[in-house]
């Protein structure tokens, strides 16, 4: 039974260890995955920001570097020569992937030039952002809203990034230079960036996770080992104190108790020889006192080293417990069947019950007689301890008294019953029954 309990305990501990390592591994995986995804998203958006920055630089080069030097005043009046120069430069040097469209706007929102000639001369109100760039300078970019009328001629379903900046005609009049770039190439450059970083980021995180697994396993093993060491230490400490107590008990028994027994015999013999005299009387008293001392020592031995009940027998063990009672004016009557054969668990239980009941009688009852009766019948063993003392009210037992409560729990756990019959002034009877197993 004990072995089954032990293997169950081990199995439980193993499962606990296994499951805690597993939950560590799983939670580590979840955390690292979240970190990985967050890292990739961040790198991707950084890549896109970089791509938009590149698009702005490209537009600035096209606007300021290529178109602006050719932008004579004639662009405002649609002078064919100026128009042709700008158109040639745009088609020859600007309209290359990713730039797909170019527009030049007047401050009033008129399209002065576009490589799509259908747009030229059309007027659309400029937005606040565009006006701000036109008058304040700088470059701005945004995703094209293809539903706006100025973009009506662009093919649907093609996502575009529009970038605009202010440039000036040769006489210094501001116009808005706008390019439209394929968004696909912006996104592609973001993707390129995160794809180049992904193996390093994901690989690093994965490696970190993999390194943690054996680490967690090793930690769990160390924990288990130190737990086992602690248990062994505790066991050894208990065994050591057990050995020590046994040694003290043996020394007391073989030394002092035997010597005192010798002294008792000598004193009794001397008292016999001097019968009727004053000396003889003193010797007799001395012998009685020495006998009493032996009894007390024997009961002390029981405390230090409880008897091996099974070997000594319940009767002998209980006699040791009641040995010092006569000195306290208490007569103890033990009744234990001579042929009593009990399993050691039941025997131990009966001994503990009787011991606590007798302690209580001695401590609280102020009784003159206590009867202890042990019996066994039909697979159940019982003990009855009756005293003729002052009795008590069981309902009034204080919370700081543990003896009877602990005993009750112990007996119940063992599948037995325990009851106390008593009333103030009427003595007390403790009755307990336990199964013989
Ligand atoms: N045979 C008895 N005669 C009179 N009173 C008793 C007897 N047995 C128990 N009592 C009363 O019941 C109370 C509870 O006893 P219990 O054994 O539970 O605790 P305790 O003896 O006071 O303390 P401990 O925890 O050391 O055993 C005692 O304090 C005592 O007042
Ligand atoms: Mg008690």
pLDDT tens digits, one per residue of 226-282? 988 988 888 787 777 777 877 887 788 778 888 898 899 899 999 999 988 999 999
How many residues would you count in the chain? Answer: 437
| Burial of residue 122, with CB atoms counted within 10 A of its CB: 0-12 exposed, 13-18 middle, 19 or more buried | middle
**Which of 401, 418, 430 maximizes ligand 1 atoms within 8 Å of its Cβ, making it the mutation to test the pocket?**
401
Residue 274: DSSP 8-state: T
Q: Most confidently modeled of 66-75, 102-111, 341-350, 381-390? A: 381-390
d(CA 229, CA 240): 16
pLDDT in tens, 332-390: 999 999 888 888 888 888 998 999 999 999 999 999 999 999 999 989 999 999 999 99
Among protein residues, the one with the nearest Cα to ligand 1's atom 20 is 401
What pLDDT is recorded for position 23? 83
Point out which residues pair with 211 in neighbouring strands: none
| CATH 3.20.20.450 given to domain 308-435 | no
> Residue 410: what are its φ and ψ, rounded to 5°?
-60, -45
The percent of residues above 70 in pLDDT, for the chain, comes to 93
Q: Is the CB of 366 inside a 6 Å radius of any atom of ligand 1?
A: no
Residues 6+ apart with CB under 8 A from 380: 416, 433, 434, 435, 436
Classified by CATH at the fold level, domain 71-185 comes out as: Beta-Lactamase (3.30.450)
Residues 6+ apart with CB under 8 A from 263: 290
- Where do the domains of the chain lie? 71-185, 308-435
Among protein residues, the one with the nearest Cα to ligand 1's atom 30 is 364
pLDDT in tens, 149-194: 777 767 666 788 889 999 999 888 999 999 998 888 777 777 787 7
The rounded Å distance from CA 397 to ligand 1 centre is 7
CA 200 from centre of chain: 33
Instruction: Report which secondary-structure segment, H or E, holds 128.
Output: helix 128-136
**pLDDT grade for 1, boundaries at 50, 70 and 90:** very low
Q: Does 308-435 match 71-185 at the fold level?
A: no
Higher pLDDT, 152 or 129: 129
Among protein residues, the one with the nearest Cα to ligand 1's atom 26 is 403
d(CA 27, CA 69): 62
**pLDDT grade for 309, boundaries at 50, 70 and 90:** low
């Amino acid at each position: 039974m004990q072995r089954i309990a032990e293997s169950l305990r081990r199995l439980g501990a193993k499962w606990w260890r296994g499951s805690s390592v597993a939950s560590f591994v799983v939670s580590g995986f979840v955390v690292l995955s979240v970190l990985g995804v967050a890292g990739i998203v961040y790198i991707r958006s950084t890549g896109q920001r970089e791509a938009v920055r590149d698009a702005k630089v490209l537009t600035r080069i096209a606007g300021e570097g290529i178109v602006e030097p050719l932008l004579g005043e004639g662009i405002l009046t649609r002078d064919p020569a100026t128009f042709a120069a700008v158109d040639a430069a745009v088609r020859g040097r600007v309209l290359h992937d990713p730039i797909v469209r170019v527009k030049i706007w007047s401050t009033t929102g008129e399209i002065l030039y576009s490589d799509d000639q259908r747009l030229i001369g059309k007027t659309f109100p400029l937005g606040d952002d565009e006006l701000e760039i036109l008058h304040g300078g700088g470059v701005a970019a945004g995703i094209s809203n293809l539903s706006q009328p100025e973009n009506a001629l662009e093919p649907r379903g093609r996502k575009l990034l529009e970038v605009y900046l202010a440039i000036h005609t040769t006489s210094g009049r501001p116009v808005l230079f706008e390019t439209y770039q394929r968004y696909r190439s912006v996104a592609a450059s973001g993707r390129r960036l995160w794809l180049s970083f992904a193996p390093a980021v994901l690989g690093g995180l994965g490696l970190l996770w993999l390194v943690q697994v054996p680490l967690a396993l090793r930690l769990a093993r160390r924990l288990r080992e130190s737990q086992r060491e602690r248990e062994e230490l505790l066991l050894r400490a208990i065994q050591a104190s057990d050995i020590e107590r046994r040694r003290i008990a043996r020394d007391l028994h073989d030394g002092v108790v035997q010597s005192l027994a010798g002294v008792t015999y000598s004193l009794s013999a001397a008292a016999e020889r001097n019968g009727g005299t004053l000396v003889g009387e003193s010797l007799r008293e001395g012998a009685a006192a020495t006998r009493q001392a032996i009894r007390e020592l024997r009961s002390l031995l029981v405390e230090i080293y409880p008897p091996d009940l099974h070997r000594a027998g319940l009767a002998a063990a209980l006699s040791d417990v009641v040995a010092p009672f006569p000195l306290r004016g208490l007569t103890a009557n033990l009744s234990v069947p001579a042929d009593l054969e009990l399993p050691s668990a039941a025997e131990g239980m009966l001994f503990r019950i009787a011991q606590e009941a007798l302690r209580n009688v001695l401590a609280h009852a102020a009784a003159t007689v206590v009867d202890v009766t042990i019996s066994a019948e039909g697979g159940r063993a019982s003990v009855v301890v009756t005293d003729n003392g002052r009795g008590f009210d069981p309902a009034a037992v204080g919370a700081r008294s543990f003896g009877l409560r602990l005993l009750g729990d112990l007996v119940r756990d063992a599948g037995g019953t325990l009851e106390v019959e008593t009333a103030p002034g009427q003595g007390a009877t403790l009755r307990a029954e336990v199964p013989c197993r």
